[in-house]
Amino acid sequence: MDDLEVLTRISRQTFIDAFEKDNNPEDFKAYIDVAFSKEQIKTEILNPNSKFYLVFLDHKLVGYFKINENEAQAEPFGKDALELSRIYVLKPFQGKKLGGYILQKIISIAKSMKKTWLWLGVWQLNVNAVRFYERHGFAKFDTHSFYIGNDKQTDWLMRLDMV
């Protein structure tokens, strides 16, 4: 809870930087105001099946990620699966290979938790992210709907087997 303010701030900023330009302004603002409110982030922090990790480079906050297990997963994939719910790096630190480093840390965490597979949802129009995950061994296995305000979007569900 000590990191609530900073986590709320970086969550909002990285999501805005990544997706604001590609969405309807009214729908986007409505989504941000709910999904990244201090109250929502606090609820997520307090969920024992969700964990946030802040990422630092030279003692400077550069990003964060969130993982979900069990009932906290956006899809009911069971106890053997771990959801990578969020992975974001602040804009000035993108392109420095931090994403790959963070993803390796997440894979290590998943293995230490004895998970057999890691999965995530990525917006189908986020071509750079899809390529990033494919380069790291993830493959599309399904889709689900994701709403930004009233705008129904399609996320590709991608998985990486740990075995």
* Whether the Cβ atoms of residue 83 and residue 120 lie closer than 8 Å to each other: yes
pTM of the entire predicted model: 0.95
Is 26's pLDDT higher than 90?
yes
pLDDT tens per residue, range 65-86? 999 999 999 999 999 999 999 9
pLDDT tens per residue, range 106-137? 999 999 999 999 999 999 999 999 999 999 99
How high is the pLDDT of residue 1? 85
pLDDT tens per residue, range 81-102? 999 999 999 999 999 999 999 9
Range of the domain at 45: 4-161
How high is the pLDDT of residue 9? 98
- Is there a catalytic annotation at residue 133? yes
Mean pLDDT of 14-20: 97
pLDDT tens per residue, range 27-72? 999 999 999 999 999 999 999 999 999 999 999 999 999 999 999 9
How high is the pLDDT of residue 126? 95
Work out the widest C-alpha separation in the chain, in whole angstroms: 44
Is 163's pLDDT higher than 90?
no
Task: Exactly one of 31, 64, 133, 147 is catalytic; name it.
Answer: 133
Q: Exposure string (b/e) for 41-58, b if CB count within 10 Å is 16 or more?
A: beebbeeeebbbeebeee
How high is the pLDDT of residue 76? 96
* Whether the Cβ atoms of residue 53 and residue 7 lie closer than 8 Å to each other: no
Read off the CATH number of the domain in which 118 is found.
3.40.630.30
What total of structural domains would you count in the chain? 1
